[in-house]
Amino acid sequence: MIIQIYAFTDVKTALEAAQLGVDHIGFVAGKYDEVPAELSFEGAHEIAASLPEKTTSVALTMATEVDEILRMVDKVRPHIVHVSSDLDLVDVEKMRELRGRLDKGIRLMKAIPVEDEKSVAVAQRYAEVSDLLLLDTKRTGFPGVGATGFTHDWNVSLRIVQSVKIPVILAGGLTPANVRPAIEKVHPWGVDSNTSTNVPGSNTDKDIDLIADFVKAIRSGETEA
């Protein structure tokens, strides 16, 4: 099971998380004044470049134009580009163009808001132009898709996992307490945590103990299985 955690803002904590077994180290690349923990391209690159060889860097972008996303990629050089803006701002055709213009070896991931059965068809369309999907929760008043701390209907997520042919990462309110039931229900390729591994009361600082708890909950379940 791939473990992905957002949103790191400093090299030290990112490296500590990687040493704990976090596979994907996520960070917000670009200052758009829309989501917490945004980094400059330089700050994001510093984290990406510092990671161990087997750890994957994931750059979340809220940019909506292909050229701007590619500018970020050129500056940050992540392994995965995570497009987290609303669906109507980066549609299927923009994703198709972006995927075609990305350097070979850089994967493209789209955040899909899981709301109802219509989300299955949406995910299928984006799966045709993405290398990975991230299933997350959309809430009114929150920019983009995700980082809300709320779960969604895992039955819909399961249908998406079953109906697409690319890896799917499950996000949305996952904690050490509920991540195992989520995995058993949805059977994703990976799981993601953001808000539940923050320092309590903070939107920008990660809590290394909570990260350790999240990793332990997943890995101990794998051992039992």
How many C-alpha atoms does 140 have within 13 Å on its Cβ side? 0
Q: Where are the alpha helices (DSSP H) in 21-138?
A: 41-50, 66-76, 92-101, 118-127
Specify whether the CB–CB gap between 198 and 175 falls below 8 A. Answer: no
3-state SS, 138-196, equals: CCCCCCCCCCCCCCCCHHHHHHHHHHCCCCEEECCCCCCCCHHHHHHHHCCCEEEECHH
Tell me if the pTM is above 0.85: yes
Between 36 and 46, name the one with better pLDDT.
46
Q: What mean pLDDT comes out for the span 189-206?
A: 90
Please tell me whether residue 106 adopts helix, strand or coil conformation: coil
Distance CA 78, CA 129 (A): 19
Backbone angles phi and psi of 149, in degrees to 5:
80, 10
The model's confidence at residue 50, banded by pLDDT at 50, 70 and 90, is very high
Question: Which domains does the chain carry?
Answer: 2-224 (3.20.20.70)
Q: What mean pLDDT comes out for the span 91-115?
A: 95
Q: What mean pLDDT comes out for the span 194-220?
A: 91
Q: Which tokens belong to 187?
A: 């059977």
Tens of pLDDT along 180-190?
999 999 999 99
Tokens 């099971």, located at residue: 1
Contacts of 77 (CB under 8 A, 6+ apart): 45, 48, 49
Nearest alpha-carbon partner for 5 in 21, 20, 19, 25: 25
pLDDT at 120: 97
Least confident of 33-47, 89-103, 114-128: 33-47
pLDDT at 204: 77
Distance CA 112, CA 135 (A): 5
pLDDT greater than 80 at residue 15: yes
Q: What mean pLDDT comes out for the span 9-33?
A: 93
The model's confidence at residue 145, banded by pLDDT at 50, 70 and 90, is low
pLDDT at 90: 94
Q: What percent of the chain has pLDDT over 70?
A: 91
- Backbone dihedral region for residue 4 (phi beyond 0: left; psi -120 to 50: alpha; all else: beta): beta
Q: What percent of the chain has pLDDT over 90?
A: 77
pLDDT greater than 60 at residue 141: no
pLDDT greater than 70 at residue 38: yes
Between 115 and 16, name the one with better pLDDT.
16
Contacts of 223 (CB under 8 A, 6+ apart): none
pLDDT greater than 90 at residue 201: no
pLDDT at 42: 96
Please tell me whether residue 136 adopts helix, strand or coil conformation: strand
Cα torsion for 82, 88, 94, 98, to the nearest 10°? -10
pLDDT at 6: 94
